[in-house]
């Protein structure tokens, strides 16, 4: 996990300090910093950091940009509200968390969990209507997940 956090910091710094217009260019700059990653890993990093592209009329092209801290906080507030609006209960075993949702809310709850930046979460699978399966990273327990969720969502009720 330590390497990933260092890499994410490097990606953020490179994007803030350079005009990056492609993943290939970003991969090369990361390699120059000692981070050798695949394009798939970089894509996941960019999604995690909520990197976007904006138009630059001077060069007639798009370049990567990192949202401001305030934009990130505002986005996270929306995801937290979506989660709170949709979840019913949370239960877990050794490697999987099951989030029960109100009917029709599983997609928005899964998206919220995916976008809250919870390191303990490997990914989510939204059920057809009212359940979300959360895969945990190796060595992470359901209790660890709940502790991380409560840090992000203090309003989360105890089950």
Q: What are the residue boundaries of the structural domains of the chain, listed by start?
A: 2-65, 70-152
> Is the per-residue pLDDT at 128 higher than 90?
no
* pLDDT tier, 135 (very low <50, low <70, confident <90, very high otherwise): very high
Highest mean pLDDT among 1-5, 23-27, 50-54: 23-27
Query: What are the residues facing 106 on neighbouring strands?
Result: none
Q: Distance between CA atoms of 45 and 40, rounded to whole angstroms?
A: 9
* CATH 2.40.160.10, domain 70-152, yes or no: no
- How far out from the chain centre does Cα 7 lie? 15
Locus of tokens 């970003």: 26
| Residues 2-65, CATH architecture | Orthogonal Bundle (1.10)
Instruction: Give the pLDDT confidence of 84-97 residue by residue, as tens digits.
Output: 999 999 999 877 89
Q: What angle, rounded to 10 degrees, do the helices at 39-48 and 2-17 form?
A: 80
For the chain, the DSSP string reads: -HHHHHHHHHHHHHHHHS----HHHHHHHHHHTT----HHHHHHHHHHTT-EEEEETTTTEEEEEPPPHHHHHHHHHHHHHHHHHHEEEEEE-SSEEEEEESTT-HHHHHHHHHHTT-TTEEEEEE-SSSEEEEEEPTT--HHHHHHHHHHH-TTPPP-
> Is the per-residue pLDDT at 1 higher than 70?
no
Q: Which of 91, 93, 127 is nearest to 109 (CA)?
A: 127
> Is the per-residue pLDDT at 158 higher than 70?
no
């Amino acid at each position: 996990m330590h390497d990933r956090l260092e890499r994410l910091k490097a990606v953020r710094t490179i994007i803030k300090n350079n005009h990056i217009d492609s993943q290939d260019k970003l991969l090369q700059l990361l390699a120059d910093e000692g981070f050798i990653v695949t394009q798939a890993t970089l894509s996941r990093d960019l999604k995690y950091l909520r990197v976007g592209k904006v138009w630059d009329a001077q060069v007639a092209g798009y370049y990567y940009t990192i949202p401001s801290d305030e934009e990130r906080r505002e986005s996270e507030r929306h995801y937290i509200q979506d989660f709170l609006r949709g979840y019913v209960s949370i239960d877990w075993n050794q490697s999987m968390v099951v989030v029960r949702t109100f009917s029709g809310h599983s997609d928005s709850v899964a998206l919220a969990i995916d976008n809250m930046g919870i390191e303990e979460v490997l990914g989510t699978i939204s059920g057809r209507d009212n359940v979300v399966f959360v895969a945990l990273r190796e060595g992470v327990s359901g209790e660890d997940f709940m502790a991380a969720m409560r840090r992000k969502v203090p309003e989360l009720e105890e089950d």
